[in-house]
Amino acid sequence: MSFIRNAFQTMHPAAQVVMLGCIVMTFMALAAGVGVLWASGGDAAKMQTLMQQGATGELDRSAVLAMNNANQLMAFLGASLAFAALVGMAFLGRFFLHAPALKMLGLAVVIALGMSPVLDFTYRLNEWALVPGSDLHQWAGALEAQAMVLTKALLAFSGTSEVWAVLFSVAVLPALCEEWLFRGTLQPILVRATGNIHVGIWVSAALFSAIHMQFFGFVPRMLLGAGFGYLVVYSGSLWPAVLGHFVNNAGVVIAAWWMGSTWLEEGLEPQPLSSWAWSDWGTALVALVALVWALGKLRRDGSPTGYLDVLSKEG
């Protein structure tokens, strides 16, 4: 076993990226099967029904939650743990173990909230750049429509008790599992492979966005991933990114629960700018100012030195 581990440890970082990708794809396939089994309770007839519903986007909340949980735990967290087992347990949780300064956690919250108008604007640009009416736009639109059906199924609450299960599935688990994979595992390998922090951050952010298979939101999700990447680098810890990710996802769940069906029909997609009230413009301006301040504060008070020191010890 030590021979195998040594082979993986001395493998070129670029080859490690390929290996990690293969592990993730394998675990995603396994997670799909486990998710269906979980949601159906092992009943063959229910399994067939779930697969048919999955093809049309008509799954109910419990099935979506089960499949999402399986995907997060196996494809993202499981793949990260499997990779760590192959290259050595020193790789496991290296950025989780370092407690960040409290101000870094505060900056993570401000950055996650302050990104809102940026994400809204880039979503509009992203959809426009796909050229409405083109085959690419139609393909992306079909994926987006299917994802929207599942999202609305998740967020159409009939009681407060349902909120906790959804928060756990779409906020807690993704914050932990996706950050461990993309910022805690993939990003460091890419930084070592390229010798450039920024390339590592942006490539891992692009892959993070692509794996969600929602391409109208590819650019805004990539920007969000890059923001989380810089949080990890400048704080030396994964926890600020985990918190920022949680705040971003939890905000949607809480808004859907608090505002109800009206927001669910109108709030998940950007509304025409012509319909914005002065209060909307004011909120966006405050968010942008807060974002610029937080990013400047992160750069002044943080440092990539600790992050690079950890990576150099693995070399």
The reported pLDDT for the residue numbered 261 is: 64
Residue 131: C-alpha distances to residues 123, 147, 216, 223 (Å): 13, 20, 11, 21
The reported pLDDT for the residue numbered 3 is: 66
Question: pTM above the 0.95 mark?
Answer: no
Residue 269 tokens read as 């997609």
Cα-Cα-Cα-Cα dihedral sign, residues 188, 191, 208, 257: positive
Condensed to tens digits (0 to 9), the pLDDT of residues 235-280 reads: 989 999 999 999 999 998 888 888 776 666 665 566 677 667 788 7
How many Cβ atoms from other residues are within 10 Å of residue 109's Cβ? 16
The reported pLDDT for the residue numbered 56 is: 47
Condensed to tens digits (0 to 9), the pLDDT of residues 137-146 reads: 888 888 887 7
The residue ranges of the chain whose pLDDT is under 50 are: 55-56, 315
Question: Are the C-beta atoms of 194 and 200 separated by less than 8 Å?
Answer: yes
Locate the domains of the chain by residue range. 1-92, 94-314
How many CA atoms does the CB half-sphere of 4 hold within 13 Å?
Answer: 5
